[in-house]
Structure 1
Amino acid sequence: MAVFTAVTETQLAQWMRDYDLGDVVDFRGIQSGIENSNFFLTTTRGEYVLTIFEKLTAEQLPFYLELMRHLASHRVPVPDPMPRADGTLFGLLHGKPAAIVTKLDGAPELAPGVEHCMEVGQMLARMHLAGRDFAFDQPNLRSLPWWEATVPTVLPFLADAQRELLTSELAHQQALFASDDYASLPGGPCHCDLFRDNALFAHVSPETGHTVRLGGFFDFYFAGCDKWVFDVAVTVNDWCVDLATGKLDAPRVEALLRAYQTVRPFTPAESRHWVDMLRAGAYRFWVSRLYDFYLPRSAELLKPHDPGHFERILRERRAGSAAGTPGAFHALSDLPRSCN
């Protein structure tokens, strides 16, 4: 992610003494994102990613690292945190928590098709089920309480129509979150940020008969315990959308939801509130992008995302485009209901 904290080769070599990962061969910053300082790290033992956490505290970090370790142990392809000599999964670098995780194979697919969405949908459901016995519990830190605290800070920068949309949608979500229906939605550990640039696809030989193969999910540092259908909605809002208009693409939506439900079927309450969750997913990222755009932090390689993208998506979801209506969701209720 964006490099907020620079690290010299000498500092890295000294810090790496607490790891049994061999000698450093290559080390370079990753020039995208806005939350942490990430670096590709190659040693004589393998390829890794070093992350220095700019916001997360030492008290918060175990949830994320232990979640990745838990999922990796359940054969979900995610980065596996490397233990230090004392068995801990992170240490302090420049006074900030830092960790090393394995580097996944593959590259992001920034123009996903139906096949990519099928792979993502199935693996997302497997990830949700694998997290059911995870021992740690931490809420999604970018959910309703964060929206309520953050919205007042960005309202002064917005036009009247944007302020009305931001406040009216917040009221809608507050009412939903307070309902018995919302309380009944199943949930557990969620990625909460599964955009197309947070998954990798590995090269597949034509002889295998498969056109794509998911290499894995990464960047779990917005993860938290939330409603599973919210996690699906966040994913659909990115993987199945026309980036220029914010409109959903029906074939990709159907492919992702159909693949997800072959592993974990949806409940009736999830079906009823599918559009509400699409709206919640769009709202969460519109608020965070507004905050990063109008109240930025200094960074060596900071590239804030356009907040207008998720404003368009939220307006589309409120309008109820055809691919995002409850009908499209209910149509999948007769799918096979295996949980493997």
Structure 2
Amino acid sequence: MAVFTPVSDDDARELLKHYSLGELISLRGITAGIENTNYFLATTQGEYVLTLFEVLTYEQLPFYIELMHHLAQKGIPVPEPQTRRNGERLGLLHGKPTAIVTRLSGGYEPDPGATHCTLAGATLARTHLAGSSFAMQQPNLRGLGWWRETIPKVLPFLDPGQAELISAVLEEQIAFAQSGLYGELPSGPAHCDLFRDNVLFDGTYETPRMGGFIDFYFAGCDTWLFDVAVSVNDWCIDRNSGAFIDEKLQAWLRAYAQVRPFTAAERQAWPLLLQAAALRFWTSRLFDYFLPRPAQTLKPHDPRHFERVLRQRRTAPAPALP
């Protein structure tokens, strides 16, 4: 359940006085999600999502909120934070940072086909190019620094083979990040968590239409190739083995490259970035599984899934970028 802080109709009416979004029609809690309180908010002017942030602080939120606003203004299909009468896009409700964003159409596709992959790949490339003019800077907070801090905490829970693998990959990634090749990779604002459940589609399964990208609250500045690797490691794999499904992978990568062609440095770095993306989510799932936050009520994901993906990326040749 993702309604941790109750919001009444009267609360919503009072909040809407700070916006020019019309009068309240309805307010309905959203059960999906993990960390925030979310409501569908309908007004006389449109459909929105009201979010009360339960973990991120008021000071931590501007990067994410302003990035979404910037992308929406550039025509990227993302939830657009609405501007209050005072010119700001963040407020407070029941002491929690609060934002109202546009509600995107569609739903997520749990078993995407090649056409879904094509749409997602092209849209991510457009997102990267649109984000290149975004002025604010924030690193990927679940990047290398976080891996170096977190992996020692989960090592005691691993068997010797797992500990050897995760330690070896971490050392390789530390060396890679210090290399000249890494410095040549195009970078900028990145979603960093573009799993299939963070993309909405309209239409039918056979003829889908892009609804948009959601949940930017792991976004940060990173190499764009890392963002691609995170995505295809979820969108284009056999769930049981972690191996790539070539038709989906090629559809995804070709669509991306038609919008933003890959560079020579990216072609060379691709195998290491695929491993980095798998390491990031193996690490976070190990941490959530063995060291959950006291208030965490949802069942954590099985960390062995991304262990399988990482082992696949180290043993199977990386498919060449188009």
TM-score range, shorter chain: over 0.9
Structure 2 unaligned residues grouped into runs of 5+: none
Identify the residue that residue 69 of structure 2 maps to in structure 1: 69
**Contact kept? 1:4, 1:299, Cα under 8 Å:** no
Following TM superposition, by how much is the alpha carbon of 1:299 offset from its aligned partner in structure 2, in angstroms? 4.8
Deviation per CA, 1:282-330, whole angstroms, max 9, x where unpaired? 111111112222222355863422222111111111112x5xx1xx324
**Contact kept? 1:109, 1:197, Cα under 8 Å:** yes
Query: Counterparts in 2 of 1:323-338, with a 5 A limit?
Result: 325=318, 328-330=319-321, 332=322
Identify the residue that residue 112 of structure 1 maps to in structure 2: 112
Following TM superposition, by how much is the alpha carbon of 1:238 offset from its aligned partner in structure 2, in angstroms? 0.8
Identify the residue that residue 99 of structure 2 maps to in structure 1: 99
Identify the residue that residue 188 of structure 2 maps to in structure 1: 188
Instruction: Give me the whole-angstrom Cα distance separating, in 2, the residues matched to 1:3 and 1:149.
Output: 31
Instruction: Give me the whole-angstrom Cα distance separating, in 1, the residues matched to 2:11 and 2:310.
Output: 45
Structure 1 residues 168 and 39: alpha-carbon distance in aligned structure 2, compared to 1, 3 A threshold: farther
**AA partner of residue 165 (structure 1):** L
Identify the residue that residue 313 of structure 2 maps to in structure 1: 317
Instruction: Give me the whole-angstrom Cα distance separating, in 1, the residues matched to 2:288 and 2:195.
Output: 17
**Contact kept? 1:247, 1:313, Cα under 8 Å:** yes
SS for the counterpart of 1:88 is: coil
Following TM superposition, by how much is the alpha carbon of 1:118 offset from its aligned partner in structure 2, in angstroms? 0.6
Instruction: Give me the whole-angstrom Cα distance separating, in 1, the residues matched to 2:116 and 2:231.
Output: 12
1:261 equivalenced with 2:252 (yes/no): no
The structure, 1 or 2, with the larger RCO (C-alpha pairs under 8 Å, 6+ apart) is 1
SS for the counterpart of 1:273 is: helix
**AA partner of residue 309 (structure 1):** H
Q: TM-score, normalised by structure 2?
A: 0.93
Instruction: Give me the whole-angstrom Cα distance separating, in 1, the residues matched to 2:2 and 2:164.
Output: 32
Instruction: Give me the whole-angstrom Cα distance separating, in 2, the residues matched to 1:19 and 1:229.
Output: 38
**AA partner of residue 247 (structure 1):** A
Following TM superposition, by how much is the alpha carbon of 1:229 offset from its aligned partner in structure 2, in angstroms? 0.4
Deviation per CA, 1:258-289, whole angstroms, max 9, x where unpaired? 01111111111111111111111111111111
Query: Counterparts in 2 of 1:20-59, with a 5 A limit?
Result: 20-59=20-59
Structure 1 residues 9 and 288: alpha-carbon distance in aligned structure 2, compared to 1, 3 A threshold: farther
Structure 1 residues 241 and 15: alpha-carbon distance in aligned structure 2, compared to 1, 3 A threshold: same
Candidates 195, 200, 207, aligned match of 1:211:
207
Identity %, equivalent residues:
56
Structure 1 residues 234 and 245: alpha-carbon distance in aligned structure 2, compared to 1, 3 A threshold: same
**Contact kept? 1:3, 1:300, Cα under 8 Å:** no
Instruction: Give me the whole-angstrom Cα distance separating, in 2, the residues matched to 1:215 and 1:232.
Output: 19
Instruction: Give me the whole-angstrom Cα distance separating, in 1, the residues matched to 2:241 and 2:9.
Output: 44
Following TM superposition, by how much is the alpha carbon of 1:9 offset from its aligned partner in structure 2, in angstroms? 4.0
Instruction: Give me the whole-angstrom Cα distance separating, in 2, the residues matched to 1:35 and 1:279.
Output: 27
Runs (4 or more) in structure 1 with deviation over 4 Å come to 298-301
Task: Choose 292-301 or 175-184, whichever is displaced more.
Answer: 292-301
Instruction: Give me the whole-angstrom Cα distance separating, in 1, the residues matched to 2:296 and 2:224.
Output: 35
Instruction: Give me the whole-angstrom Cα distance separating, in 2, the residues matched to 1:186 and 1:291.
Output: 30
Instruction: Give me the whole-angstrom Cα distance separating, in 1, the residues matched to 2:9 and 2:162.
Output: 46
